[in-house]
Structure formats: structure tokens, C-alpha cells
């Protein structure tokens, strides 16, 4: 177990002004607080916070963070309180320990929904002070290093969670070294055989390639030195988990990998970075398409470097990274690099908040929390954004937009602003009109074309790749559907008030919201529109003396010719007005895509000119049936679902509506073609065809077609009947 003086010495190595008294006090307090507590390994529990603190000293963090690491389990696992910590160590350290305690209380090793909710809480806990996240990641790293002492079932869950959440989060914060160790430890636990295989092959490759690797390092160093560039050239080896993931993703064998070894050139200035690239490209031929400049366009986790691949000594592909010393620190330590002690001086945490791209990403992620997504959606979205590589695109004004690889102009639009995404109708990429679903490439300039009143199609949700776009599309779709139901509910309730001899006003509904168990007028109207609340109950809530008559309505009665009669009661739920009658109290129907949630009868549909009735289906809106439809008998016992509706079609409207016909025709070559020709030449479209063979000579053809109105349908039927091969044509309503 680490001694007091050893902890102080670790901090003094990078901070000569270490507060030795504070560290000693924290050491003694935590040791006494944890007392005889033991870990699963049998070691004293106090060894764990000490090891967490040691990990953070490797990151050269400030005294407050180291002290918080030593104390991080005291409030959770001992009798110590937040007040005790604040009294003894001050509010800054107390806030850090309290934030870590909130995270420690989360059982992240749990079912997906619980895990997602806890992930939300984790990010909320760290957003105020990023040092909380740094301690938490160090805490997880030490737990992973001692995972062998935990039961196999629990260790598997912890390792999977580390691979799913903590390792990507460390990577998103730019802490690549920590990420790789977390991934390696998880990989070893979850797939021990695969891990052992990769490690063995890496060892074999290391022995075989040692001489050639040294040759590349030597030649690079000599070439740069000869050009007056003082550079440190080192090799790097791809981590086992990264190798495994690439083998799985590309379905290739270990021997087919060409990027297991790479080389890093670290220079003093940005100017020398580009000079070094010039030397390398002059010496060896480049591999096309393998040059990436992350200095001019850094990644969102603050990573900056130039990547290139050349054909080096021995005709081998050599991957190179060129960066400055400061960039190298950010690449290794990520977000923690802003807090590093350099030359005995602490890093600027205020600068971290202002300048760090990874911290801005963390803030952006928290913004998603406030926009109403479910925990599962949030976890899905953040994981999407953590795992993807990036492309860099520009607005016409030169604003840089970083997106995951595979992003589309729709993703770009939502990255600019949610309102831009919601109203997007088109895009220009590099000045040319491009599909909204085209994949963007590095350097593309994207101009989004918008239109007021546009609502994103729900299908977009499955086609975009960014979490923000998916969340916004899902939200906009929900809002649009809710608005449709609310509008339908308003019309239903308004007419219910009219039938009761009352006047509808929003204020009257607002006054009885508690009686209706809703929080807003829109909630009430949407509930009526969805069929979850009876309109008569809304009237009764406002006028208690009113008695809703649920049995009143149009009761279908089958006549001699199969048509339905209507009861001539004063409380008819629907009526079919004549041209001279005032139909203003009926709900106007304009067809699909209107501002109401409308659909047509699944069998046979309905067309303008039909006498129609609306059936309110809970959760689905209005289904429009022709009055002759036998399906209406199903709703005889639910008259409260019948709605008074009317067609409201402009004479110049070109929309078409669904209808079904059955044609009996002679079964001979060319018959189907003749039927299709008649329908097509009449300006109709065939959606579906079904054949029913009555005999070898006669075949029935059932066709779902689209027509403008009843006159158009009647004309098609008449033309079909005039053909010699057709014996019978009739319209079908189910």
C-alpha cells in the first residue's frame, strides 16, 4: 500500500508547490474512515482510493483532484458526510467528492433502461466540473485492473459496460491511452481466447519485424535531421482490441492488416510539422487518399495531428503521424491535458471550459437531455456520436461543422440548428443540387434549402446518423402528430358543445383541467382526438348539468339493397347534408396529408362524392368509410366513435383517393393488358392486383386503384363494362 510520503512525492514530481499538509490530512482521514473495510481481493479497501489517486498523478492533476480521489468513497461507504468534508477540506473538494458520490450511487451494471437513465445522471453530475469525470474514469480503470477478483458473471457485466460507455467516453474526451487500457482489459475479460490469440501474434510479429522497424525509425530521424528539423521519431503498435475490431469489421485475417505498426514524429512547432511532411513526401511516394490534416481541422476531442501513409523502406506501407509536443500531450491525455502541470505551473481549467472541443461536446450532449428524449434514446444517440469517426464540412459562410462519417445533408442541417433541419427541403453540396440523403465528404460546402411550414418525414429518423438529428426528427414527428390530434379534438369538442347548445372557449376548458386530469387545453383536445376521452365528458366537466348521451348516434341498419339507413334522431352523430343544407358543423375532410390524422377504409377506401362517415379509432385518428361499407356494422355498439364528416375538396384539386373494383373477364391472353390500359388512359393508377380464378374460362381481377372522385370512378367502371372481354364490373367496400 502506498505510504503518505510516496503520494506526496508523486505529486511533487510535477508540482513543486504541492500542499503537503492537505494531502497528508486527506490520507489520514480516508484511512481512518475506511478502517477495516476490505475489497474483493482481500486487500484493505483504502488501497483503492490510493491507486485512483496514483493514476491521476500520472495525469499531473491539481491537489484538489488528488485529494478528491483519496476521499471519493468516504461519503458513500463510511459514516462521513458532505458537511464533514466541506468543514475539513473546503467547498471545492466537497463538491468534487459529492459529485463522485452521486455517480457511485448509480448501479450502472443493470438493465438497459436503467443503465441509460444512469448514464444521463452520470453526465449531469460531471458537467459542472470535468475533474469529476477524470476521477471517475481513473476509478473505473483501477476497478478494471482488479476485475479478476470479482465473480465471472459480475465481471462480464462490468467489462461490457466499460466497453460500451466508459472506454468510448474516455476516447471522446481525447484520453486515448486510458481508452486503450480500458478496452484491452474489457477485451481480455469478455473474449479471453481472442485476446490471447492477438497478443501471441503481436509478439511473433514484433520479433520478426524488429529490424525493419528500427530501420524505418533510423531513416526517418536521419532525413529530418539532415533538413534541420529536430524531431523525436517513435514507433507505435496498434492495441489488441483495435486489431480485433478491425478484423471483425472488415472480415479479414490478422496477416492482412497493414497498419499494425505506425510511426510518430514529434517536433517543436506547427511550421516544422508541415516541413516534416514535405521531407517525408519527398523521400517516399505517398498512398493516395491517406493524407489527413487534423491540425487545420482538429477533431472534436481536441486531437491535432497530420496523418499520412507512404511506401517506405522495403516497399512497405508506413503510417505516420506528425505533431508538436503539445499536440502529443493532448493526444495522450485529452481533456486532462488542459489541467496538466507544466514547468511547475497548473493548467488553466477556465481555458478548458472556453476552448476544449471535447468539453463543448459534453455540454452539447447535456443539451440533448433537456429536449425530452427517453433514456434509451439518449444512450443510443450518445453512443452513436462517441463511436463514429468524423468528416468536416462547411457552411457557405465558412463555418466548420464536424459530423460523424456517413453523415448526410440532413445531419448537417440539424448540426447548424434544429429549426434548419426541421424545415429542410433540399441541399446544395459544393454548389450543385444533391439528394438530402447523399453521404458528405471531407471539405464539402453544404447549403441547406428550407421552406416554412415543412415537417421532417418520420422516415428520416432511420436514415440519419447523428444523435441530434434523430432526436429532433423523432420530436418533430411526435409534435406534428400531437398537433393533428389536437386539431381533430378541437373540432370534435367544438361540435359537441354546439350539439349541447353551449359555446366552446379555451378558457372554459382551462378552468376544469384538474377535473379532466390534464395539464393543458392541448392535452385535453389531443386526448379527444386520439379517442382516449369522450367529447361529452369534456362538455359535462364545463357544464355539470349536461348529461352526455353516448347511445345517440348513427345506427347502421341494412336495407334491401345493402345500403345503410340513418336514424332520424335529433342526436345524430353524423348526417349527409344536401347541397342546400349547412354542413358547417361537420368535420371537413381533405384527404391524406392534411392537418388532421385521416386514413381511409382499408378495404375499398372512399372517394369524393361518396356519402361518408368517420370512425374515431383510439391512437390512429379518423378512418373514413363510405356509408355503404359493411364494415360499419362493427361499430354499431360504439356510437360515440362515429363522427359527422364531409368532403371539403376544391374543384381544382388533383389528389387521388383509394377505391377497389372487381372485374370479371374472359381468361384469355391480353385481357389483363386491356384492363390496365383502360385504367391508365383514364388517368388512374393501379396500386395492387389480385387474381381469383372462378373457372378455366373466367377470371376475377381485384384491383386497388386511385381516382379523383366518384364521377371518375364511375367513368372507369363504365369504360371497362364496354369491353367485350369483360362480363361484370363492381365496386367493393369491405
DSSP 643-682: E-EEE---TT----EEEEEEEEEE-STTHHHHHHHHHHHT
In the annotation, is 76 catalytic?
Answer: yes
Asked if residues 600 and 657 have their Cβ atoms less than 8 Å apart, the reply is: yes
CA atoms within 13 A on the CB side of 320: 33
> Distances in Å between the alpha carbon of 544 and those of 166, 319, 495, 507, 532?
58, 80, 18, 16, 20
In the annotation, is 730 catalytic?
Answer: no
**N residues, the chain:** 734
Asked if residues 68 and 99 have their Cβ atoms less than 8 Å apart, the reply is: no
Strands 621-626 and 612-617: antiparallel
Show the cell assigned to 674: 386491356
Short-list 426, 446, 444, 451, CA closest to 436:
426
- CA dihedral 264→270→275→278, nearest 10 degrees, is 60
- Catalytic residue among 9, 58, 76, 687, which? 76
Number of H helices, E strands in the chain: 28, 22
- CA dihedral 526→527→529→533, nearest 10 degrees, is -150
Alpha helices in 373-531 (DSSP H): 375-387, 409-416, 418-422, 467-499, 506-510, 513-516, 521-529
Q: Listing from the earlier edge strand, what are the strands of the sheet with 726-731? A: 685-693, 698-707, 657-666, 726-731
Asked if residues 642 and 576 have their Cβ atoms less than 8 Å apart, the reply is: no
CA atoms within 13 A on the CB side of 171: 20
DSSP state of 440: P
Short-list 652, 653, 615, CA closest to 632:
615
- Count of CB atoms situated within 10 Å of the CB of 458: 14
Q: How far apart are CA 447 and CA 434, in angstroms?
A: 10
Asked if residues 705 and 659 have their Cβ atoms less than 8 Å apart, the reply is: yes
- CA dihedral 704→707→709→711, nearest 10 degrees, is -90
Show the cell assigned to 661: 373494383
Helix or strand run (H / E) with residue 596: none
- Catalytic residue among 77, 219, 326, 700, which? 77
63-71 and 82-89 are packed helices; what angle lies between their axes, rounded to 10 degrees?
A: 150
Q: How far apart are CA 729 and CA 726, in angstroms?
A: 8
Q: Using CB atoms within 10 Å of the CB of residue 27, give its burial: 0 to 12 exposed, 13 to 18 middle, 19+ buried.
A: buried
DSSP 113-153: HHHHHHHHHHHHHHTT-HHHHHHHHHHHHHHHHTGGGS-HH
Q: Using CB atoms within 10 Å of the CB of residue 560, give its burial: 0 to 12 exposed, 13 to 18 middle, 19+ buried.
A: exposed
Q: How far apart are CA 155 and CA 146, in angstroms?
A: 10
Q: Which residues are catalytic?
A: 76-77
Amino acid at each position: 500500500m502506498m505510504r503518505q510520503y510516496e503520494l506526496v512525492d508523486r505529486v511533487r514530481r510535477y508540482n513543486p508547490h504541492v500542499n503537503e499538509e492537505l494531502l497528508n490530512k486527506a490520507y489520514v482521514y480516508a484511512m481512518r474512515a475506511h478502517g477495516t473495510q476490505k475489497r474483493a481481493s482481500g486487500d484493505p479497501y483504502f488501497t483503492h482510493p490510493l491507486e485512483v489517486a496514483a493514476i491521476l498523478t500520472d495525469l499531473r492533476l491539481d491537489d484538489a483532484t488528488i485529494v478528491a480521489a483519496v476521499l471519493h468513497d468516504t461519503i458513500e461507504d463510511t459514516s462521513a458526510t458532505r458537511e464533514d468534508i466541506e468543514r475539513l477540506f473546503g467547498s471545492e473538494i466537497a463538491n468534487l467528492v459529492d459529485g463522485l458520490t452521486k455517480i457511485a450511487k448509480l448501479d450502472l451494471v443493470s438493465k438497459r433502461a436503467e443503465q441509460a437513465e444512469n448514464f444521463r445522471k452520470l453526465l449531469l453530475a460531471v458537467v459542472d466540473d470535468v475533474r469529476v469525470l477524470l476521477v471517475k474514469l481513473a476509478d473505473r480503470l483501477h476497478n478494471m485492473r482488479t476485475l479478476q477478483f470479482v465473480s465471472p458473471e459480475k465481471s462480464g457485466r462490468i467489462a461490457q459496460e466499460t466497453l460500451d460507455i466508459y472506454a468510448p467516453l474516455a476516447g471522446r474526451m481525447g484520453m486515448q491511452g486510458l481508452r486503450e487500457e480500458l478496452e484491452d482489459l474489457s477485451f481480455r475479460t469478455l473474449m479471453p481466447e481472442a485476446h490471447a490469440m492477438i497478443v501471441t501474434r503481436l509478439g511473433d510479429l514484433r520479433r520478426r519485424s524488429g529490424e525493419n522497424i528500427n530501420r524505418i525509425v533510423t531513416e526517418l530521424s536521419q532525413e529530418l535531421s539532415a533538413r534541420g528539423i529536430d524531431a523525436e521519431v517513435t514507433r507505435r503498435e496498434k492495441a489488441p482490441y483495435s486489431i480485433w475490431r478491425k478484423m471483425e469489421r472488415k472480415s479479414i485475417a490478422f496477416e492482412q492488416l497493414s497498419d499494425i505498426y505506425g510511426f510518430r514524429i514529434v517536433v517543436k512547432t506547427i511550421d516544422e510539422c508541415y516541413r516534416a511532411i514535405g521531407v517525408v513526401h519527398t523521400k517516399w511516394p505517398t498512398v493516395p487518399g491517406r493524407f489527413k490534416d487534423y491540425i487545420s481541422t482538429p477533431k472534436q476531442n481536441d486531437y491535432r495531428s497530420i496523418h499520412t501513409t507512404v511506401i517506405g523502406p522495403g516497399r512497405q506501407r508506413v503510417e505516420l503521424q506528425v505533431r508538436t509536443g503539445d499536440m502529443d500531450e493532448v493526444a495522450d491525455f485529452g481533456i486532462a491535458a488542459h489541467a496538466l502541470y507544466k514547468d511547475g505551473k497548473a493548467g488553466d481549467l477556465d481555458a478548458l471550459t472556453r476552448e476544449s472541443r471535447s468539453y463543448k461536446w459534453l455540454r452539447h450532449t447535456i443539451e440533448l437531455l433537456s429536449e425530452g428524449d427517453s433514456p434509451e434514446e439518449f444512450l443510443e444517440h450518445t453512443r452513436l456520436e462517441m463511436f463514429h469517426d468524423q468528416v468536416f464540412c462547411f457552411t457557405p459562410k465558412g463555418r466548420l461543422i464536424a459530423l460523424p462519417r456517413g453523415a448526410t445533408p440532413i445531419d448537417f442541417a440539424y448540426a447548424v440548428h434544429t429549426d434548419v433541419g426541421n424545415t429542410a427541403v433540399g441541399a446544395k453540396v459544393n454548389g450543385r443540387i444533391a439528394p438530402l440523403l447523399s453521404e458528405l465528404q471531407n471539405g464539402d460546402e453544404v447549403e441547406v434549402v428550407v421552406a416554412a411550414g415543412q415537417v421532417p418525414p418520420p422516415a428520416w429518423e432511420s436514415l440519419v446518423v447523428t444523435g441530434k438529428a434523430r432526436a429532433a426528427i423523432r420530436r418533430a414527428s411526435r409534435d406534428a402528430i400531437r398537433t393533428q390530434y389536437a386539431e381533430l379534438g378541437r373540432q370534435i369538442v367544438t361540435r359537441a358543445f354546439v350539439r349541447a347548445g353551449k359555446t366552446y372557449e379555451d378558457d372554459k376548458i382551462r378552468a376544469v383541467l384538474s377535473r379532466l386530469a390534464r395539464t393543458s387545453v392541448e392535452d385535453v383536445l389531443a386526448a379527444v382526438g386520439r379517442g382516449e376521452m369522450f367529447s361529452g365528458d369534456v362538455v359535462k366537466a364545463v357544464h355539470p348539468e349536461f348529461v352526455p348521451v353516448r347511445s345517440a348516434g348513427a345506427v347502421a341498419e341494412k336495407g334491401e339493397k345493402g345500403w345503410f339507413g340513418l336514424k332520424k334522431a335529433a342526436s345524430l352523430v353524423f348526417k349527409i347534408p344536401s347541397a342546400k343544407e349547412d354542413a358547417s358543423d361537420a368535420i371537413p375532410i381533405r384527404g391524406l396529408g392534411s392537418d388532421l390524422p385521416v386514413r381511409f377504409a382499408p378495404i375499398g377506401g372512399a372517394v369524393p362524392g361518396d356519402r361518408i362517415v368517420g370512425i374515431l379509432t383510439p391512437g390512429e385518428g379518423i378512418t373514413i368509410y363510405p356509408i355503404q361499407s359493411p364494415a360499419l356494422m362493427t361499430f354499431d355498439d360504439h356510437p360515440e366513435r362515429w363522427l359527422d364528416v364531409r368532403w371539403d375538396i376544391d374543384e381544382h384539386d388533383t389528389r387521388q383517393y383509394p377505391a377497389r373494383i372487381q372485374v370479371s373477364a374472359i381468361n384469355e391472353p391480353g385481357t389483363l393488358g386491356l384492363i390496365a390500359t383502360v385504367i391508365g388512359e383514364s388517368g388512374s393508377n393501379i396500386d395492387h392486383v389480385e387474381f381469383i380464378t372462378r373457372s378455366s374460362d373466367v377470371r376475377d381481377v381485384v384491383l386497388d386503384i386511385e381516382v379523383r372522385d366518384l364521377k371518375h370512378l364511375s367513368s372507369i367502371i363504365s369504360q371497362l363494362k364496354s369491353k367485350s372481354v369483360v362480363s361484370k364490373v363492381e365496386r367493393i367496400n369491405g
